[in-house]
Amino acid sequence: MDMGLPKEGTMDSDTSPARSVTQLLKETGAVSNEQPVQSSPQSTNSTPSSESLKLPTSLSRRSRRNSAAKLDVPTPGDEDGVKIQELDEVSCASVFVADVKETTDGDDVGSGRMSMASLDSSDPRMLKLNDWKYSRFTEFQKWSTLVLISSAAVLVPLSTNIYYPALITIQQEFNTTATMVNLTVTCYILLIGWGPILWSIIADSKGRKITYILSLFIFFITSIATSFSTSIEMLLVLRVAQAIGGSSVLAVGAGTISDLFAPHERGTAMGWYILGPQIGPLAGPLIGGAFTQYLGWRSIFYFLSAYSLIVLLGMVFLMDETLVPTWYDPERDPKITTLYLLRSSGSKLSNPLDTFKFLRYPPISLMILNSCIIYMIAYCLATSLTRDYQIKYGFNPFQAGLAYIPMTIGNLLGTVFAGKLSDRVMEGARVKLAENLKQDRTASVPEARLKGSLLTSWTVPIGLLLHGWTIALGAPFYAPMFGQFIFGAGQMAPFVIGNTYLVDCFAGHSSSIMALNNALRSLAGSMSALFVTPLESALGPQGTGYLFTLLSVTFLFAYAIVFYVWRYGEQSRLQYHRWNHHLDAKSGSSSPKSTTAGVMYYGPGMEGTRERVRRGSVAEM
């Protein structure tokens, strides 16, 4: 299928690849005629120094497009195409990306300020930037910030689950219908998922700290206002506003982790970060039930306002700004602060619809699809669990709430284990890559991380089948709980590792990509909550068993997606990375850029591994 990639044969047949690149550099002024690019027998993938390779800032966009057109960058499937390893001294991909990309990121073209994202990952300046980025904070500062953002992330599941025990009480007080009360839940869940798309734009341009402060302030004010609701309509509007305020924390938290932790540390950090939100489903129903019974349902929102105020004050006084913009140069620019980012001309807000451009990348869209399937299955189990225990085992509402504990414990254990396993697999892949390339490389392939998901998530269908059929066959009430625990532990691996993979691929836009992921999976989860009960009833007396058998088969499809991305994702990313930059050069549009750590993994610095990718050795990591 023609994907619009550059065709073979655009190079002159009588011109060697190395000579074509050299001539192009001379034409654009990157290399002078007096100092030609020289061949080095020791290295075929090295990058020229900043003195010998200087990209002209005065090039017009049209000339850069014309220059880019002269480079024929073969796709990974072109066996007879030009091998990048054969280019002397100059990495073809480096020239291509740097030449067609805007020389500035937010500033006027021609100002002479090159985006650090356009550098080769093996360029000393890029290595120095990465060293600075991940070493500017002490370990104590990193982990204390992680605790703070994890505490903020608790708000989302806590504010959702703490509300459930009060639904009947609210319905009775406002003398309304169950449908109207349930609408306050549905709207809240949808906006919790879609709100981050707006917040992530602010977080990726104006900084993480200001985003936390604004969103938590909105959540704090609306929580107080909600406690004074006098009608169901007023409650609905305020819950919508509360969801908008609280929706930022999950997406911005993932972006903060990408700012602080190097790739080989990121999985563990992500695991501990997600541990916070796992407390919400466990503590929420217990706290909400106690408050509703003894202090009234309005006390729920008093509690949420007090909790959010504590976290808000922590963000104001304890958190440092962590965002490193793609255009930032630590040797030239002032220290990064919230005020500096707000005033900077380079920190411009982007179009919210640009977030959906990430779906053009097959590995990204496939992993988000995988996340949607996992979320759908989890919501099916969570929605049906209370009803099944009340009908089949005669549990009262409080006892049915306690039935969530085994799955929550599994989630907690699975979260920590998945993060550590992810980093162990990633580190092993990095070491093996360094050995294969005979170099001391600090980069690795993000897909290698997915091996941890494949090694652990196979337990998910076992847990689903055990839960469904023990209930359908009338086994003792504790038997399904074993299945819930197995499911809870197993499902966290694709959740944690999948999120970390998305952050790895686009670290410079991690908040935006996580916002897109949260939006689509929340849509899938809310839709599954609507059909699970009618479907279970339609399947007959043993409908619970058949329902979770169907969900187990559905999970196998998600497992196959992860396997495919693990096996072929790098090859696909290499292809689409070039293709999107080629489109940007033609149209002058601005697509999501793989910045800093993104380029570090699969951009120009990884081009020398095309033959290894083609042989499939990445999957062996």
Residue ranges of domains in the chain: 17-32+59-132+577-615, 138-567
State mean pLDDT over 274-280: 76
pTM equals 0.59
State mean pLDDT over 224-246: 93
Model confidence at 598, pLDDT cuts 50, 70, 90, reads very low
Model confidence at 430, pLDDT cuts 50, 70, 90, reads low
Above 80 in pLDDT, residue 527?
A: no
Token pair belonging to 306: 């007090």
| Among the listed residues 563, 431, 433, 446, the one whose alpha carbon sits nearest the alpha carbon of residue 506 | 446
For residue 357, what is the DSSP state? G
Q: Among residues of the chain, what percentage have pLDDT more than 70?
A: 64
Q: Calculate Rg over the CA atoms of the chain.
A: 26
Cα distances (Å, whole numbers) of residue 219 to 203, 239, 244, 432: 17, 10, 8, 47
Above 60 in pLDDT, residue 96?
A: no
Place of tokens 């005020």: 339
Higher pLDDT, 325 or 253: 253
Model confidence at 563, pLDDT cuts 50, 70, 90, reads very high
* Burial profile 120-143: b = 16 or more Cβ within 10 angstroms, e = fewer: bbbbebbbebbeebbebbeeeebe
Above 60 in pLDDT, residue 572?
A: yes
Higher pLDDT, 371 or 578: 371
Alpha helices (H) in 295-404, listed in sequence order: 298-318, 338-343, 362-393, 397-402
* Burial profile 393-418: b = 16 or more Cβ within 10 angstroms, e = fewer: eebeeeebbebbbbbbbbbbbbbbbb
Any residues with CB less than 8 A from the CB of 535 and at least 6 apart, and which?
543, 547
Q: Could you give the CA distance from residue 194 to residue 445 in angstroms, rounded to a whole number?
A: 30
State mean pLDDT over 442-455: 73
| Among the listed residues 44, 52, 47, the one whose alpha carbon sits nearest the alpha carbon of residue 87 | 44
Mean pLDDT taken over the chain: 70
Above 50 in pLDDT, residue 431?
A: yes
Place of tokens 């080989």: 264
Q: Could you give the CA distance from residue 233 to residue 184 in angstroms, rounded to a whole number?
A: 9
State mean pLDDT over 308-325: 89
pLDDT score of 121: 46
Q: Could you give the CA distance from residue 384 to residue 544 in angstroms, rounded to a whole number?
A: 9
Place of tokens 């300046």: 125
| Among the listed residues 498, 420, 488, the one whose alpha carbon sits nearest the alpha carbon of residue 460 | 488
3-state helix, strand, coil in the chain (%, to 5): 70, 0, 30
CA end-to-end span of the chain, whole Å?
A: 30
- pLDDT tens across 343-353, in order? 775 556 666 67
Estimate the crossing angle of helix 232-246 against helix 178-194, to 10 degrees.
Answer: 20
Model confidence at 613, pLDDT cuts 50, 70, 90, reads very low
pLDDT score of 577: 52
In single-letter form, the type of residue at position 354 comes to D
| Among the listed residues 63, 62, 70, 67, the one whose alpha carbon sits nearest the alpha carbon of residue 10 | 70
State mean pLDDT over 128-151: 82
Higher pLDDT, 226 or 576: 226
For 581, what's the count of Cα atoms within 13 Å in the CB-facing half-sphere?
28
Above 50 in pLDDT, residue 594?
A: no
Q: Among residues of the chain, what percentage have pLDDT more than 90?
A: 18
Token pair belonging to 548: 């979770």
For residue 49, what is the DSSP state? -
Above 60 in pLDDT, residue 47?
A: no
Lowest-pLDDT range of 65-79, 185-199, 424-438 = 65-79
Model confidence at 214, pLDDT cuts 50, 70, 90, reads very high
Above 80 in pLDDT, residue 178?
A: no
How far does CA 603 lie from the centroid of its chain? 18
Structurally, at CATH architecture level, domain 138-567 sits in Up-down Bundle (1.20)
State mean pLDDT over 297-305: 94
Above 80 in pLDDT, residue 492?
A: yes
pLDDT score of 91: 32
Above 60 in pLDDT, residue 518?
A: yes
Q: Could you give the CA distance from residue 252 to residue 528 in angstroms, rounded to a whole number?
A: 26
Q: Could you give the CA distance from residue 69 to residue 77 in angstroms, rounded to a whole number?
A: 20
Above 90 in pLDDT, residue 236?
A: yes
Above 90 in pLDDT, residue 30?
A: no
Q: How many CB atoms lie within 10 A of CB 445?
A: 27
Place of tokens 């990952």: 121
**Cβ atoms of residues 368 and 355 within 8 Å:** no
pLDDT score of 294: 85
pLDDT score of 553: 94
Lowest-pLDDT range of 262-266, 289-293, 546-550 = 262-266
Above 70 in pLDDT, residue 53?
A: no
pLDDT score of 320: 86
Q: What is the DSSP string of 140-178?
A: HHHHHHHHHHHHHHTHHHHHHHTTGGGHHHHHHHHT--H
